Amino acid sequence: MRIGFISTRLAGTDGVSLETQKWAHVLRQMGHDIFYCAGELDDETDGMLIPEIHFQDSAAQALGAWAFGGNLPDPTLDRALQERAEVLKRPLRQFLTTYNINYVILQNIFAIPMQLPLAQAMTELLQETGLPALAHNHDFYWERERFLTNRIPKFLDTYFPPDLPNLRHAVINTIAQRDLKARRGLDSVFIPNVFDFATPPPAIDAYSADFRQAIGLRDDDWLILQPTRVIARKGIELAIELVARLDDPRAKLVITHHAGDEGLDYWHQLQRQADEQGVDLRYVADIVGDARGMTEDGRKIYALWDTYPHADFVTYPSLYEGFGNALIETIYFRQPALVNRYAVYAADIGPLGFRFAEIDGAVTEESVALARRWLENPAETGEIVNHNYRLGQRYFSYQTLADLLGEQIKEIGRE
């Protein structure tokens, strides 16, 4: 089949883009042709760039501010959404016809309402074309407090997500699966985030060997890796507290991803906290990306995968996650970690038997002691991280994904 992935952004290292790459890889191995359509695409991506479907498109942002800026219905807003949806349908229809798409995978378009008219446009196109489609829903609007007060309850109930005979739904955790059924009466398949556990993780090589030196660390420093974006739900203040309570000059907290996706207030708060608590905080997003390369001023850019082998410990203190890409990466790279028991972890990951230093929203003496023990005696962690890796192979592998996607595609022929 000729499969089209459509999203607001398919570029970089955010969770939606990373999972899309994995799905595309698995589907290609199954013999399908893959094409992309988004408001932002990586340079080498085969597909169609439509800037106006990006979640940062000015029209989308204005409509979003209007919709979530109060709770009184506004018929003028409904008309504005419809008019913008009509504008977006034209290039979207062109993508479907140009690439002769016969199966569509919608990445988070019907889940997070940051591009309201895009959801309406895609719903109407699916109704018009009858194309079979799968909505990969990463995080629903009711999971985010900022979307609960709005002027468009009927619009959200119609399009986030829509109920169509040719549209199936996939969710990334069982909590979302339960809530989708309870709120909308819609069935869905649980497809966890996955990793290529069949391929051994890359080791330090000639290119990445100097990463520690590039960020100013000595060989005996503890590189405590926070491999996430700098947004409030990542709970990075807990990582800072952990490092402060380790109270060891070797401990350096290294943040790999950019701040700014939700403004810079949170980043400034973290900087103040680190200063107050005497934590050595290294922000290295300017030289870490999704691929190796060079900065404009001639510095080496390391891939995210280059950072994990250098780490001594990983912090993953998220307050909320749809699933947890960076945690699966941590398992894959056989790193010990601190994990906050966010709801999805408690429901779908922790019960499988993984072994981490766990906390429940607050750093404890026990978690600090365990982290210190693993940092001071890294040989002790070998059995633990290998145990976690084996569980990752069993539950979060590409083969798991292939089996689940294969079943969804088979369903097309049964209808």
Domain ranges of the chain: 2-194+398-414, 211-395
Question: What one-character-per-residue DSSP string does 356-393 give?
Answer: -EEESSS--HHHHHHHHHHHH-GGGGHHHHHHHHHHHH
pLDDT confidence of 232, banded at 50, 70, 90?
very high
Q: 2-194+398-414 architecture in CATH?
A: 3-Layer(aba) Sandwich (3.40)
CA distance 176 to 101: 29
Instruction: Tell me which residue of 261, 67, 232 sits closest to 160, measured CA to CA.
Output: 67
- Say whether pLDDT at 400 is over 90: yes
Average pLDDT for 373-387: 96
Average pLDDT for 59-76: 94
- Say whether pLDDT at 217 is over 60: yes
What is the identity of the amino acid at 380?
A: E
pLDDT confidence of 81, banded at 50, 70, 90?
very high
CA distance 26 to 401: 7
- Half-sphere CA count of 179, side-chain side, radius 13 A: 17
Instruction: State the pLDDT at residue 148.
Output: 94
Instruction: State the pLDDT at residue 410.
Output: 80
CA distance 332 to 209: 20
CA distance 188 to 204: 40
pLDDT confidence of 219, banded at 50, 70, 90?
very high
CATH 2.60.120.10, domain 211-395, yes or no: no
Token digits of residue 400: 């798991």
pLDDT confidence of 18, banded at 50, 70, 90?
confident
Alpha helix ranges (H) inside 106-191? 116-129, 153-159, 174-184
- Say whether pLDDT at 247 is over 80: yes
Under a CB-based contact definition with an 8 Å cutoff, are residues 134 and 168 in contact?
Answer: yes
- Say whether pLDDT at 414 is over 70: no
Q: Which residue has the tokens 């607001």?
A: 8
Instruction: State the pLDDT at residue 368.
Output: 98
Question: What one-character-per-residue DSSP string does 206-274 give?
Answer: TTTTTHHHHTT--TTSEEEEE-S-B-GGG-HHHHHHHHHHH--TTEEEEE-SPBBBTBSHHHHHHHHHH
Instruction: State the pLDDT at residue 49.
Output: 96
pLDDT tens for each residue of 282-315: 999 999 998 899 998 999 999 999 999 999 999 9
Q: Among positive and negative, which fits the CA dihedral 305, 310, 313, 319?
A: negative
Instruction: State the pLDDT at residue 12.
Output: 78
Dihedral-angle region of residue 24 (phi above 0 means left; psi in -120 to 50 means alpha; beta otherwise): alpha
- Say whether pLDDT at 237 is over 90: yes
- Say whether pLDDT at 412 is over 90: no
CA distance 265 to 237: 13
Instruction: Tell me which residue of 176, 282, 181 sits closest to 222, measured CA to CA.
Output: 282
- Say whether pLDDT at 413 is over 70: no
State the pTM of this model: 0.86
